[in-house]
Amino acid sequence: MSNGIGTNRDQWGTRAGFLMATVGSAVGLGNLWRFPYIAGEGGGGAFLLFYLIIVVILGFTVTMAELTLGRHTQLNPMGAYRSIKKKWAWVGRMAILTAFLIMFYYCVIGGWVLKYFVAFLTGQFGGSNLAASKALFASFTGSTFEPIIYTAIFLLATLAIVYFGVSRGIEKASRVLMPTLFVFLIILAIRAITLPGAAEGIRYFLLPDFSRMDSQTILTAMGQVFYSLSLGMGIMITYGSYLDKQSDIVSSSAFIPLADTVVAILAGLAILPAVFVFGFQPDAGPGLMFVTLPAVFGQMPLGRFFAVLFFLLVLFAALTSTISLLEVNVTYLIDEKKFSRRKAAIWATLLIFIFSIPASLSMGSWADIHFLPGMNFFSSIDYLTSNIMLPLGGLLLCIFIGWVWGVDNAVKEITNDGAISFRMVSLWSFLIKYVAPLFILLIFLNALGII
């Protein structure tokens, strides 16, 4: 223990378990519905190339910074910042708050995914065209009670896993959920690219087309890397705090972004060809997953089977992400408020559930109640977290690691005082001090509409 504060801390049982859990946090709705769409729209292969470069520069660098801070302090995000520099505790607190807020809407979407899984499984959906699919989505999300009930069930599943702790809960679940997700995704990708006429979708997704790219695409790509890797809200600090001192942060920090990107690309291959084959247009956001895809499955041979597989895999992806969000809150309550894990998990879940109700109602009776100008509760929380708190948290993290704690101290932790080789020390130091903050600042200004 580095400082004696975080004693009796739960730890990962195995390295594979840790990796499955971190990749599980990273792989989520961002990979499965947002990435394929923005990659296609942003120039296919050209976008992909650019995305990969940013993943290496930003993803790898910041993931490593967060894991390092967590493992060094063995504390929750707030405690981690505070133990190094007291005045910075609020940055950690903001990260925890971000995770808390994101849960409000993320678990509502988790509830929708659950509903779609159940509906396809029991044969309530199927054979629908686009108009019918749209109507179904609107009537389900617009109703008052049903989505809230599904959200509650989804949250309870998250709670059930976090309740049992790091190695017995999160790690165990991730070791089952993530490999299953991967296998399902491969099956779906193979199905999609072997459909007659799949080439058009593959071309749209992978063929480089620089004319579809502009400065906006590049900023979108940066923001996507950040969101997709679950950076800026203390998740990797928290998961890093359960690592033992012998663990190898260098290779983990490379593996996590890599695996996340592989899943995003597979998702594109599983989704876009099928969308084109059946004559649809890829749509943005919820429309693609809950309107277009159900219509695609409705027309595909054995569509119901593939739909069940698909929504189950999305469910797993969402679940491993909400687990990590809840865990950030739980570890804070355990460290700082001296709650037992069980009490912390139950209270945090209860509070999140209460706030998820207005998020759910935002699709129905609360649609026109605005919180931020022109935005209902759901969109306000999404805007506040994704566009403001995440980039701000990331920017401050880089400044903290690069300039306040100092790269020398960080490198000492990364290399276990020289025991582990890390050949890119000077490159990483340069990236975390100068390049990553600059990139994140650009994302931030763009998100605010300033550039």
Site for ligand PHE contains 100 (CB under 6 A): no
Q: How many residues bind ligand PHE (CB under 6 A)?
A: 15
**82 near 76, Cβ under 8 Å?**
no
Site for ligand PHE contains 356 (CB under 6 A): no
What residues between 61 and 80 interact with ligand PHE by CB under 6 A? none
Q: Which of 140, 227, 400, 428 forms a contact with ligand PHE (CB under 6 A)?
A: 227
The site map against ligand PHE for 30-49 (x = CB under 6 A) is: xx------------------
For ligand PHE, the closer of residues 321 and 349 by Cβ is 321
How far, in Å, CA of 75 to CA of 239, rounded? 10
Task: Decide: helix, strand or coil at residue 373.
Answer: coil
Report, in Å, the least distance between residue 235 CB and ligand PHE: 6
Site for ligand PHE contains 25 (CB under 6 A): yes
Q: Which residues of 222-253 are buried (b: 16+ CB within 10 A; e: fewer)?
A: bbbbbbbbbbbbbbbbbbbbbbeeebbbbebb
Report, in Å, the least distance between residue 379 CB and ligand PHE: 16
How far, in Å, CA of 77 to CA of 267, rounded? 31
Q: Which of 201, 389, 223, 228 is nearest to 317 (CA)?
A: 228
The DSSP letter of residue 420 is: S
For ligand PHE, the closer of residues 171 and 413 by Cβ is 171
Report, in Å, the least distance between residue 121 CB and ligand PHE: 23
**Cα 212 from chain centre:** 26
Q: Which residues does 446 contact at the CB level (< 8 Å), separation at least 6?
A: 216, 219, 223
Report, in Å, the least distance between residue 375 CB and ligand PHE: 19
What's the one-letter identity of residue 112?
W
Site for ligand PHE contains 28 (CB under 6 A): yes
How far, in Å, CA of 329 to CA of 71, rounded? 17
Task: Decide: helix, strand or coil at residue 372.
Answer: strand
For ligand PHE, the closer of residues 17 and 30 by Cβ is 30
Stretch that binds ligand PHE, among 2-10, 67-75, 227-235, 331-339 (CB under 6 A): 227-235
Site for ligand PHE contains 219 (CB under 6 A): no
Q: Which of 23, 84, 89, 102 forms a contact with ligand PHE (CB under 6 A)?
A: 102
For ligand PHE, the closer of residues 260 and 413 by Cβ is 260
Number of H helices, E strands in the chain: 23, 0
Site for ligand PHE contains 228 (CB under 6 A): yes
Report, in Å, the least distance between residue 385 CB and ligand PHE: 8
For ligand PHE, the closer of residues 22 and 68 by Cβ is 22
How far, in Å, CA of 84 to CA of 429, rounded? 19
For ligand PHE, the closer of residues 133 and 230 by Cβ is 230
* Dihedral sign (CA 330, 331, 335, 339): positive
Site for ligand PHE contains 324 (CB under 6 A): yes
Site for ligand PHE contains 391 (CB under 6 A): no
Report, in Å, the least distance between residue 339 CB and ligand PHE: 22
Helices in 338-389 by DSSP H: which ranges?
341-361, 377-382
Site for ligand PHE contains 26 (CB under 6 A): yes
Question: What is the maximum alpha-carbon separation in the chain?
Answer: 62
How far, in Å, CA of 439 to CA of 445, rounded? 10
How far, in Å, CA of 197 to CA of 194, rounded? 8
For ligand PHE, the closer of residues 181 and 233 by Cβ is 233
Report, in Å, the least distance between residue 360 CB and ligand PHE: 19
For ligand PHE, the closer of residues 411 and 436 by Cβ is 436
**For 43, left (φ over 0), alpha (ψ -120 to 50), or beta?**
left
Report, in Å, the least distance between residue 382 CB and ligand PHE: 11
Q: Among all chains, which residue has been given the structure tokens 């390049």?
A: 435
Stretch that binds ligand PHE, among 29-37, 64-72, 131-139, 166-174 (CB under 6 A): 29-37
Stretch that binds ligand PHE, among 7-15, 28-36, 283-291, 414-422 (CB under 6 A): 28-36
Q: Which of 148, 237, 325, 363 forms a contact with ligand PHE (CB under 6 A)?
A: 325
Site for ligand PHE contains 29 (CB under 6 A): yes
Q: Which residues does 206 contact at the CB level (< 8 Å), separation at least 6?
A: 44, 45, 48, 268
Q: Which residues does 406 contact at the CB level (< 8 Å), separation at least 6?
A: none
Cα three-residue angle 325-331-334, rounded to 5 degrees: 145
Q: Among all chains, which residue has been given the structure tokens 């890119």?
A: 424
Stretch that binds ligand PHE, among 1-9, 21-29, 84-92, 162-170 (CB under 6 A): 21-29
Binding site residues, ligand PHE, CB under 6 A: 25-26, 28-31, 102, 227-228, 230, 233, 235, 321, 324-325
